[in-house]
A and B are shown apart, each in its own frame.
Chain A
Amino acid sequence: DVKVTQSSRYLVKRTGEKVFLECVQDMDHENMFWYRQDPGLGLRLIYFSYDVKMKEKGDIPEGYSVSREKKERFSLILESASTNQTSMYLCASSFGGQGAAYGYTFGSGTRLTVV
């Protein structure tokens, strides 16, 4: 089975802290994604990557950055955490490049609370 592992299930951070969310997949997928999920707003794409060292902005990149130094690992960084970044963060991966039609495999999510 494809596995997408997110390093933490629950995190509590203080406003202004720099926060790292880690995601690792074990199926040699080219594509990796970060979403946040909020009640009433659904899943919103933050950043994605089609290859190592590649990154592209999604729909809501403000306040976030990403790093993909290795194919299997995609990190989401909150440069200075704010309370409006309290959310469920979901990492996903898939085969193929930009034109591929593969579905995504999701991790279990990280519930981040910023206080």
Chain B
Amino acid sequence: EDQVTQSPEALRLQEGESSSLNCSYTVSGLRGLFWYRQDPGKGPEFLFTLYSAGEEKEKERLKATLTKKESFLHITAPKPEDSATYLCAVRGNTGKLIFGQGTTLQVKP
């Protein structure tokens, strides 16, 4: 069964304090791993797609990496506006997008 586990559930950082969010997955035939950002009361907003182990993508202070078993979302020198819930999802042979529970990030000024 395809499964995604994110850790930690919640993360509090001071502004400028870099850290990483983890997404562990098991999937039959990985077709893509996706990171989304979700603000309270809104729909998820697409950030990155990773397709194969070793791949990396960057956007501003965010960098996503992928291995055969997990993905990391690295946040460098975060700002308060980076506060949100970050969702990881995988798409395998079933074609369905399977989501993790998310990591809620709070960045304090």
Which residue numbers of A lie inside 8 Å of B, CB to CB? 4, 33, 40-43, 45, 48, 50, 58, 90, 92, 97-109, 111
Contact = CB atoms under 8 A, between A and B. Distances in A.
Given A90-B43, A108-B42, A109-B41, A101 B102 contact: no
Contacts, number: 54
Closest 3 CB pairs of A and B: A106-B43, A98-B95, A101-B31
27 contacts: A40-B101, A42-B87, A42-B101, A42-B102, A43-B44, A43-B87, A45-B97, A48-B96, A58-B96, A90-B43, A90-B44, A97-B95, A98-B95, A100-B95, A101-B49, A101-B51, A103-B34, A103-B46, A103-B49, A103-B97, A104-B34, A104-B46, A106-B36, A106-B43, A106-B44, A108-B42, A111-B41
Contacts of A41: 101
A101 B97 CA distance: 10
B32 interface: yes
A92 B44 CA distance: 9
Contacts of A33: 97
Given A42-B101, A43-B87, A108-B43, A103 B32 contact: yes
Contacts of A105: 46
Given A43-B99, A48-B96, A109 B42 contact: yes
B17 interface: no
Contacts of B91: 101
Given A42-B99, A43-B99, A58-B96, A101 B32 contact: yes
B99 A106 contact: no
A61 B34 CA distance: 24
A101 B41 CA distance: 27
Contacts of B96: 45, 48, 58
A98 B96 CA distance: 8
Nearest to B102: A42
